[in-house]
């Protein structure tokens, strides 16, 4: 029983770390950074010519970002499913070992 609670605690920490901070914390962190980035973009766009914009790297569109978030959540779910499968297999192993000895 104790091992199960430890495994569940580890899974909870993995899920929380994979999903990131709470929306309030994310907004607090992204707010100043986003404002700073937007200020830099507006300054660069006013002083840059068309040849400089062609040299910049590709920007991620919202669709690509959404796919990245979807893939990240799929990875998290896969890890959780694998961990749960391992718990079930380990429990069955222990149960059969106990049945053979007793």
Tokens standing for residue 35: 């404002």
Q: Which residues, 6 or more positions from 29, have their beta carbon under 8 angstroms from its beta carbon?
A: 21
Please tell me the predicted confidence (pLDDT) of residue 74: 96
Tokens standing for residue 20: 């990131």
CA–CA separation, 42 vs 56, rounded Å?
15
Please tell me the predicted confidence (pLDDT) of residue 43: 53
Of the candidates 81, 93, 94, 91, the residue with the CA atom closest to the CA atom of residue 11: 81
Tokens standing for residue 63: 């669709």
pLDDT band at 2 (very low <50, low <70, confident <90, very high): confident
For the entire predicted model, the pTM comes to: 0.42
> For the segment 19-77, what is each residue's pLDDT rounded down to a tens digit?
666 556 555 555 555 555 555 555 555 554 555 555 677 776 778 888 999 999 999 99
């Amino acid at each position: 029983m104790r091992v199960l609670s430890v495994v569940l605690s580890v899974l909870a920490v993995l899920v929380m770390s994979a999903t990131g901070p709470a929306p309030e914390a994310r907004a607090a962190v992204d707010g100043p950074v986003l404002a700073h980035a937007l200020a830099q973009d507006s300054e660069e766009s006013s002083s840059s010519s068309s040849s400089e914009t062609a040299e910049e790297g590709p920007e991620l569109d919202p669709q690509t970002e959404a796919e990245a978030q979807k893939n990240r959540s799929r990875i998290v779910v896969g890890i959780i499913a694998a961990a749960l499968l391992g718990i079930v297999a380990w429990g069955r192993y222990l149960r059969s070992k106990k049945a053979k000895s007793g």
